[in-house]
Amino acid sequence: AAIIYANVDANLALFKAGEQASNVLTVGLGNFVGTMGGTGATLVVPFLFMLFAKSKQLKAVGKTTFVPVCFAVNEPLLFATPIVLNPYFFIPFLITPMINVSLFKFFVDVLKMNSFIYVLPWATPAPIGLILGTGISLLAVVLAVVLIVVDGIVYLPFIKAYDATLLEEEKEKEALDALEEQVEKEEAKEVQPLSLNKNINVLVLCVGAGTSAMFANAVKEGAEIENLPIDATASAYGSHYDILKDYDIVVLSPQVQSHLEEVRQDASKYGTKVVATKGAQYIKLTRDPKGAVEFICEQVKEG
């Protein structure tokens, strides 16, 4: 950090002296070039989802994440797509930042564009941060456009490949849903009301106890509507170790489902059941109290 901030100061001194600000390694290089739109240089990704994706999942992710990504907050994109631990995005996630940095260095070393002479807030939209941070020049505007185009070219083939698999999955799911709907209609007359013969305590875990609170509230609201002895509590992953013994079921949000086996091992000594949820399912249940409590009842019946 000392180097990248000192280089900005050195660049400003060069600029004031009428010389080229030539120090490439600066804080702006990371914020507005290497990680434009967040880690992995994902600024273009939500827009590519909206423009080229055919699957409902990626189109929905694009619509809900393009605003935060514009301000370098790309965690919703990374986990909702998901890009994290997704082999389809392994290559573009790694090489796009390197390509961006190489292009910036070419513009500074060869075309003699000024490097960053100002420090701007990291959440400044990347193209704006690049142009303002380097002192506003035609080359900076050209570079911003080039980076967006090149990043789009790099990401697009991988997005289309992943989109094709999702589209196939969605078609299969639609077919299964239609079949299940038909079966449910046939069995509708035999449906029994929800019932439990004991009190059930539910613990919902996510990264920061934000979405888990929404899920827990949905469960409690559903339990009240159905008059069921179910209570739910939200907590953040990591703060659950000392309280597992107090709960019958632990529900993991998609953000922490990679810890499923670890939590199951910790919970097994107390006889506590641990279940993971998928992204779309989890979000749906946070908005559906009856569905959330039905989900818990199903887990109780399965044992």
**Could you tell me if residue 177 is inside a domain?**
no
Judge whether 70 counts as a catalytic residue: no
For residue 249, which of 188, 173, 302, 183 has the smallest C-alpha distance? 302
Report the C-alpha gap between 153 and 44 in whole angstroms. 10
Strands 249-252 and 273-276: parallel
- 142 and 26 in one domain? yes
Q: Measured between alpha carbons, how far is 203 from 178 in angstroms, rounded to an integer?
A: 33
Encoded amino acid at 37, one letter: G
> Which residue stretches of the chain have pLDDT < 50?
189-191
Q: Are residues 96 and 209 in the same domain?
A: no
Does 105 lie in the same domain as 56? Answer: yes
CB 41 within 8 A of CB 35: yes
User: How far is residue 110's CA from residue 5's CA, in Å, rounded to a whole number?
Assistant: 23
Name residue 251's beta-bridge partners. Answer: 204, 275
For tokens 């670890």, the residue is: 262
pLDDT reported for residue 134: 97
Q: Which of 27, 117, 206, 252 is catalytic?
A: 206
* CATH number of the domain that residue 287 is part of: 3.40.50.2300
Q: Give the pLDDT score at 110.
A: 97
Question: Quick one: pLDDT at residue 196?
Answer: 59
181 assigned to some structural domain? no
Residue ending a domain, among 108, 140, 163, is 163
**Rounded to the nearest 5 degrees, what angle is found at the Cα of 77, between the Cα atoms of 35 and 145?**
45
Instruction: State CA 285 to chain mean position distance.
Output: 18
Tell me what pLDDT residue 191 has: 44
pLDDT at 33: 97
**pLDDT at position 197:** 63
Burial string for 232-256 (b: 16+ CB within 10 Å, else e) reads: bbbbebeebeeebeebbbbbbbbbb
- Domain identity same for 155 and 6: yes
Pair (125, 206) in one structural domain: no
For 219-252, the pLDDT digits (tens) are 889 888 888 888 988 888 887 778 888 888 988 8
Q: Is residue 230 part of a domain?
A: yes
> Strand, coil or helix: what is 259?
helix
What are the Cα distances from residue 235, in Å, to 31, 137, 238, 287? 32, 49, 9, 18
Report pLDDT for 193.
Answer: 54
**Ordered alpha helix ranges (H), the chain:** 2-16, 27-29, 45-52, 56-70, 75-80, 90-109, 126-133, 138-187, 211-226, 260-268, 279-286, 289-302
Structural domain includes residue 264: yes
**Domain assignment of residue 206, given as a range:** 200-297
Summarize pLDDT for 60-100 with one digit per residue, the tens. Answer: 999 999 999 999 999 999 999 999 999 999 999 999 999 99
Per-residue model confidence as pLDDT tens digits over 25-35: 999 999 999 99
Q: ω before 92 within 30° of 0 (cis)?
A: no
Looking at the structure of the chain, the number of domains it has is 2
For residues 226 and 221, give the distance between their C-alpha atoms in angstroms, rounded to a whole number. 9
Closest Cα to residue 277, out of 218, 192, 195? 218
Give the model's pLDDT for residue 199.
Answer: 84
Question: Is residue 212 in some structural domain?
Answer: yes
In this predicted structure, what is the pLDDT of residue 162? 96
Residue from 247, 234, 226 nearest 293 by CA? 226
Question: Per the structure block, which two tokens stand in for 39?
Answer: 């880690």
- Cα 77–Cα 29–Cα 80 angle in degrees, nearest 5: 5
